[in-house]
Amino acid sequence: MIAVITADFVDSSHYSENLLSQVLAILKKEFQELTDFYGEEVKFKIYRGDSFQGIIYAPELSLEIALILKTAINVAHSKKKSRGKAYAKEADLKMAIGIGSYEFARESIAESNGQAFQFSGRSLDEMKKEPRTIVLKTPEDNLNAEFNSSFLLLDTLMDKWSIASAEVIYHLLKGLKEQEIAETLNITQSAVNQRKKAAGWDAVSVLLQRYQEVISKSFIG
């Protein structure tokens, strides 16, 4: 069993040339860092300049990786930021995670196929006209029901994130501590803690833990 993430940029036709260039550069950087960290366990490909697809061979990590990519994109902006000001997000992703079998493996993602690819691609097509930005499709209906209910609440939470909130969540997902984030962003630890609480990190981290445990038990053995 593998996980496949298929994603489109939200309202990419409205991105300025500068913003789109930022988003693509951020994605390429994140893909490289994920490959450097996980090695052959992950593989990503950008399509048409406004969408991408990725294979994750450890499906229990798929939600964490999806959120890393989403928050990385959320930080992109076209304005000159002022310290302490909470700017609204300008760039976002719609993502569908499909978990299933991998019947037709090829070196190129574009030439690969299988249940996970079909689940992911079809789910993204179905959600394009919906306000949701993340869904899950697996062979297990009970898991789909549980996590898509949780993802609906997660969407509500993420919709309220500013660029500053997403920036802190991104670094938390990368494993940094509050003081390390404060030093990276050149802000106080207190400011990091406030953004962390405002973004609902405690709820996000509980969902990530639950997802990893359930997906591991259901599909890894």
pLDDT tens-place string over residues 58-95? 999 999 999 999 999 999 887 665 554 567 888 999 99
CB 75 within 8 A of CB 166: yes
Strand-pair partners of 52: 7, 46
pLDDT of residue 85: 54
pTM of model > 0.85: yes
User: Domains in the chain and their CATH numbers?
Assistant: 2-220 (3.30.70)
Closest CA to 3 of 99, 90, 68: 99
Phi, psi of 56 (to 5 degrees): -125, 115
Closest CA to 59 of 206, 213, 215: 215
